[in-house]
Amino acid sequence: MIQPPFNFPPVAGALSPADQIDLLRALGDDATAAELQALLEDHQDSATLFRSASAFPFGLFALRAWQHTTHAFGYFPLLPDTDEVPPTLAIQDAGALRPDETLKGARIKVTLSHLHIHDYPGAGEHRVLLDFSAQNQVPGGATELLHYNATFRVRAGEAAAVRNFPIFIGLNVGANGVLFQCYTVAVGNSFDDGLLNILESDIFKGGLRLMTTAQPALAPLSALSEGMTRTLADRNRSRANTPVQDIRLGLDFTRAAGGAALAEGSYIALQIAESVKPVWNWSDYIFHTTSGRLVQKADHTVGLPNNYFVFTVTRYQEEG
């Protein structure tokens, strides 16, 4: 499993406070920019600012989900093969999962199950570009780098109207597992609407269908998708476009502490603060099958105050 060389522009949370202020002003959020500017002027350097924000959990930084760069990775299984659907499914850390050895050398289907925007820079409806990349390992040792882009319209505090959206259909799993990279960009520049309109056309809504042999056409298609993402995420070209999440998740067949195993089921990429990660406990949350939401175990009416997306891995079924 080789890491794909896709190094996109940094996400908004990785920018300096001064650059975050510029970003907020470009998006028209002058009130939040003024708050951050006041905090910055009260501290001698940005490191002190970030330390103080961690020390006071009700400060500005703790209230902005997009300012975090750390992620927690959770997993919940597929529904049992019975007529009775359980009301909830337990969530566990992706590193505590037992790998499914029967997926080694098999083909899988990867779908987007959920995209929740709790808080992105700016206000109102967000037009979100999701860039999903992976490696397709075909027999003979050849490796294809894949990119698939999709775009969704989501308001802050809500989820995209998406369920089981196909990303990769028939992805070949290598002996050492698979590697995914996911990158989201909030596109606020109206000039780029034309590019996103292309992704909303029917031809781009069916996922990337893969074969057991190398497909030469995939290379230029993936390069085109990567180039589109890089163009939209380039702050030097448009400060109104904002990268928010950037994750790299390798799923393999080991049970190494701190790793992540490959199995059929749903994986969660949850954007959280670094100070929260050491004490994060997935057992405090569940997947509520009736509403299709991630909620607190103690109160099923309370969702997660975070940006996150969920993708599902299932075994590929031959068509025809």
pLDDT per residue as tens digits for the range 293-318 = 999 999 999 999 999 999 999 999 87
**Tokens 């068509």 map to which residue?**
319
Q: Span 252-274, mean pLDDT? A: 91
Q: Is residue 43 part of a domain?
A: no
Percent of the chain topping pLDDT 70:
72
Chain-centre distance for alpha carbon 218? 22
Q: Is residue 40 part of a domain?
A: no
- The pLDDT confidence band at residue 202, using thresholds 50, 70 and 90, is very low
- The pLDDT confidence band at residue 278, using thresholds 50, 70 and 90, is confident
Opening angle at CA 125, ends 163 and 27, nearest 5? 135
> Rounded mean pLDDT of the chain?
78
For the chain, the C-alpha Rg in angstroms (whole number) is 20
Q: Is residue 29 part of a domain?
A: no
Contact criterion met (CB below 8 Å) for 129 and 149: yes
- The pLDDT confidence band at residue 139, using thresholds 50, 70 and 90, is low
C-alpha closest to that of 14 among 121, 105, 108, 101: 121
Q: Span 136-165, mean pLDDT? A: 81
Integer angstrom CA distances of residue 82 from 100, 164, 291: 21, 20, 19
pLDDT at 95 over 70: yes
Question: Whole-model pTM?
Answer: 0.82
Indicate if the alpha-carbon torsion angle 68, 77, 146, 158 is positive or negative.
negative
Domain containing 235 equals 68-315
Residues 104 and 214: their CA atoms lie apart, in Å, by 19
The per-residue pLDDT for 169 is 87
The per-residue pLDDT for 86 is 92
Residues 82 and 104: their CA atoms lie apart, in Å, by 26
Q: Is residue 23 part of a domain?
A: no
- The pLDDT confidence band at residue 18, using thresholds 50, 70 and 90, is confident
- The pLDDT confidence band at residue 63, using thresholds 50, 70 and 90, is low
Q: Is residue 148 part of a domain?
A: yes
Q: Is residue 300 part of a domain?
A: yes
Residues 103 and 108: their CA atoms lie apart, in Å, by 8
pLDDT at 124 over 60: yes
Q: Span 26-44, mean pLDDT? A: 78
Q: Span 243-253, mean pLDDT? A: 92
- The pLDDT confidence band at residue 39, using thresholds 50, 70 and 90, is confident
Structurally, the chain folds into a number of domains equal to: 1
Torsion angles phi and psi, residue 71, rounded to 5: -130, 145
The per-residue pLDDT for 96 is 92
The per-residue pLDDT for 81 is 85
Q: Span 234-244, mean pLDDT? A: 67
Q: Span 37-47, mean pLDDT? A: 65
Q: Is residue 253 part of a domain?
A: yes
- The pLDDT confidence band at residue 134, using thresholds 50, 70 and 90, is confident
Of 213 and 141, the structure prediction assigns the larger pLDDT to 141
The per-residue pLDDT for 94 is 94
Residues 257 and 259: their CA atoms lie apart, in Å, by 5
pLDDT at 220 over 80: no
Integer angstrom CA distances of residue 153 from 113, 115, 246, 289: 15, 10, 19, 24
The per-residue pLDDT for 194 is 55
pLDDT at 158 over 50: yes
The per-residue pLDDT for 214 is 40
Q: Is residue 191 part of a domain?
A: yes
